[in-house]
Amino acid sequence: MIKYKTLYLIGTSHVSKDSVKEVEKTILKVKPGFIALELDRRRLALLESEQKRKISLRELKSMGIKGFVLNLVGAWFEKKVGKKVGVEPGSDMKKAISMAKEQKILIVLIDQDIKYTIKKFLSRVTMKEKIKFLIDLLFGSKETHFDIKKVPSQKEIKRIIDSIKKDYPSFYLTIIKERNEYMGRELYNLMKKSGKSKIVGIVGAGHEKEIVGEIKSFERI
């Protein structure tokens, strides 16, 4: 966790029991006025829904076939990993949402629309990256092995991000860098509006350091 002024920013693994415990412990200790989540409205609705949500024809058209397939594959992979470690995907976010409702804490969504992110990524991804992805998928990648039951260390995160930046520049730019900028701006605006109220932010491990850096850069403008 990184503390910066009134912000307590937690980097979690969405399939880690340790992350769920840290989220609960931090909210109880900090007693925030706001809980900021690395979600958009679409993903929040999916997490809160008890039933599988069917995608509409309008959404499919907006996202595109490739985007829909990419989103489907990502959800399937996360579910598979979750079963392996015995934790339902998104349990960290669900814990934060349930605690916010119980304690009447305001929830703020700080991530950009997933449709926009996927559409932007698909417009940028190169054939070289696609081939590299298929090779890694078929034969495995030695650069990204870590214990999925735990939140990776900062050293592991740096190694993984450096590898992604090198091998998948389009993915790094769209999924990591630009989203860090977006979430940094959203948190900066929230910190300005919330005054002295404390904020607990919950984002994927690896985002927190860069997001705080983005907040500081907005403060210098």
pLDDT in tens, the chain (221 residues): 999 999 999 999 866 788 999 999 999 999 999 999 999 998 898 888 754 445 555 554 554 545 444 554 454 334 433 343 334 568 899 999 999 999 999 999 999 998 889 889 889 989 999 898 888 777 765 555 555 556 777 788 888 888 889 999 999 999 999 999 999 999 999 999 999 999 999 999 889 999 999 999 999 98
Q: What's the burial of 221, exposed, middle or buried (CB within 10 Å: 0-12/13-18/19+)?
A: exposed
Confirm if 199 and 187 have CB atoms less than 8 A apart: yes
Q: Where are the alpha helices (DSSP H) in the chain?
A: 17-30, 41-48, 57-63, 65-85, 91-103, 114-124, 127-139, 154-167, 169-171, 178-194, 208-220
Q: What's residue 88's pLDDT?
A: 55
**Closest to 47 in 3D by CA, of 78, 23, 6:** 78
| pTM of the complete model | 0.81
And the tokens for 220? Answer: 């210098």
Strand-strand pairing, 7-12 and 199-204: parallel
* Element housing 10 (H / E): strand 7-12
Q: What's residue 92's pLDDT?
A: 92
